[in-house]
Amino acid sequence: MRVVTTLQKIASQQLPFLLSLPAFLLQGYFLLIPLAFIVVISVTSDALGGQWLFTLSQYRDLCSSMHMKVIFNSAVLSCIAGGLSLLIGYPVAYYLAMRAGRMKHALLVFLILPSWTSFIIQVYSWFYLLQKHGLFSSFFYSIGLTSEPLSLLNNYGATVLGMVYCYLPFMVLPLYTVLEKMDKRLLEASADLGANAWQTFTHIVLPLSHSGIRVGLALVMVPAFGEFAIPDLMGGVKDLYVGHMIMEKFLVFRDWHSGAAVVMLSFMIPIVCVGLWYLMSKSVRYVQGEE
Amino acid sequence: MQQLAGSRFGRYLNPLFVLGVYLFLYLPIVVLVVFSFNDGDFAGGWKGFSLRWYYEMADSHEILGALKASLIVASSATILSLVCGTCAVIATKWLRLGRWLNIFYANVLVPDIVLGIGLLCVFSVMGFPLGYKSLIIGHTVVGLGFVIPIVGARFHQIDPILTEASLDLGATQWQTMRRVVLPLLMPGLMASGLLVFTLSLDDFVISFFCSGTHIETLSVYVFNQVKNMIDPRINALSTCMLLISSACVMCLAYLNVLDQVVHSE
């Protein structure tokens, strides 16, 4: 009898620990170990039969002109996608947060609705419009803009279009969050003090939404840097991107060590950029505060 | 504000621009859905309404197989991440170790491609065969990143007076958990469950790396199928998936949790 109660006591004491175990085990085995593994194999080579030796040669190889070109392509695409979605997303977030009134929630739901289906399907839906004999090219042909129906797919513009289409909601959401929380009395105060709409925007709204812009750019540019499905489907195979390079190294060449270096790079470059920007904006504010 | 609304930009340009963006977002989807009901393939233009492609979709073993795989993976990952996540939230709060839950934010922050590649490497090193199990594990790990913050936030909102009252009135801890805490957590559980289910159903990158050669989920099937080619059966399939995810979003909006998710970012 005493044994049973002791057992029960132990069980009830250990129960919370046991309950939390599955989630933490999953986290450890299938998130932390994979991440650590990528870091480790990116700085080792297995040249000597099974023994892994520390080396930075994979990173050195990344500096070759071929790799640099791919990295440059991805960086440019990621910047264009980030910049365009900011330009398009800001007015939308502004309208939703400041002027939509009761329609706000409905509009927000309809904004994110498309991004809740697989982005493969979102990209596929553009095929109907852009393809040869698709709606757009037929339209351009019928109004005489082009002499024959052209395919509007497989070019850089199509890639950019696909990226902006898929990533736009990720830009609008953080901007909306910041703009919605903003104290609207500041705008009235600014107007009362004689600022015009543009001055209010550049001096009040824009500086106060800085954190939203930063989060939005990070949410768009980090995944855009490693993206491979959208350029693959919309842009044809003319330009190679970091995402392609990762996929090829792992699935085709089975060269894990240099693949892992590319993965690290695709992860670190955007994070370092965001971090630098954060530090810079902080120091700018510090200097301004000093004045 | 007065002046902002009064300027020409404020009055006309901004709403018009927003209208344009919504057209941009919905035009391709509407065309996709409309042409799934077209009697004829795309090259012939519009030939009249029919459900032909839906019947052909239902006859295709590949599509049904992919649908089955996706549903199995999504529902298993949802259940697993809900059970593990809720247990972890309750247990860590009980032990007053709640801050350890913060490590689960990493699951959302790590890009899919990094996690997918990492899992692929670890599975191969461990000799773990790629298939349903690896897919479910991958999706569960991502799911935990949504379940734990949402359920954790909900748990935080529970008034301690309620649980104390329950214990005072003679309920055991287990009864308090089941009869008081769990019902109060329900909205969070529903919301995160729906979220994980939709995300898993739509996931491409992790499925692409973890599915191996035998199994194709819907997204992977569509990716392999549509490289520059239009297949009206895919339209029918996409329409069905759009319906499922729209239903989930509407449920989430109804549960009023989208706001919470947005603000927790």
Domain that holds residue B145: 53-264
CATH 1.10.3720.10 at A64-290, yes or no: yes
Residue B27 within a domain: no
The model's pTM: 0.83
- b vs e for A261-284, b when ≥16 Cβ sit within 10 Å of the residue's Cβ? bbbbbbbebbeebbeeeeeeeeee
Residue B215 within a domain: yes
- pLDDT tens column, A50-101: 667 787 888 888 888 888 888 898 999 999 999 999 999 999 999 998 887 7
Residue with tokens 């349903």: B132
Of B24, B114, B218, the CB nearest to A263: B114
Full pLDDT tens readout for chain B, 265 residues = 444 444 555 567 888 999 999 999 999 999 889 888 888 776 667 778 888 888 888 888 888 999 899 999 999 999 999 999 999 988 887 777 778 888 888 888 788 888 999 999 899 888 888 889 999 999 999 999 989 988 888 888 888 888 889 889 988 888 888 888 888 888 889 888 988 998 898 889 899 988 888 888 988 888 888 775 778 888 898 999 889 888 888 888 777 655 555 454 4
Residue with tokens 């690896």: B134
Q: Is the dihedral of CA B203, B205, B209, B213 positive or negative?
A: positive
- pLDDT tens column, A114-132: 888 888 889 888 888 887 7
Residue B48 within a domain: no
| pLDDT at A48 exceeding the cut of 50 | yes
pLDDT of res. B257: 59
Question: In chain B, what residues touch A201 (CB-CB under 8 Å)?
Answer: 4
Q: What average pLDDT does this structure show over A199-217?
A: 87
Which chain A residue has the Cα nearest residue B85? A23
pLDDT of res. B2: 45
Q: How many CB atoms lie within 10 A of CB B167?
A: 14
Residue with tokens 């996931």: B203
Count of structural domains within chain B = 1
**Complex ipTM:** 0.81
Indicate yes or no: CB of B91 within 8 angstroms of CB of A111: no
**Which residues make Cβ contacts (< 8 Å) with residue A170, sequence separation at least 6?**
A85, A115, A216, A219, A220
| Residues B134 and B214 sit within 8 Å (Cβ to Cβ) | no
pLDDT of res. A291: 41
- Cα(B16)–Cα(A263) distance, integer angstroms: 41
pLDDT of res. B142: 92
Question: In chain A, what residues touch B202 (CB-CB under 8 Å)?
Answer: 116-119
- pLDDT tens column, A249-262: 888 888 888 889 88
Closest-CA distance, B258 to chain A, in angstroms, reads 8
Residue B210 within a domain: yes
Domain ranges of chain A: 2-42, 64-290
Task: Inform me whether the C-beta atom of residue A37 falls under 8 Å from chain B C-beta atoms.
Answer: yes
Residue B90 within a domain: yes
pLDDT of res. B44: 61
Interface size A-B, in CB pairs within 8 Å, comes to: 247
- Domain containing B129 — which CATH number? 1.10.3720.10
Residue B46 within a domain: no
**Which residues make Cβ contacts (< 8 Å) with residue B224, sequence separation at least 6?**
B216
Residue B119 within a domain: yes
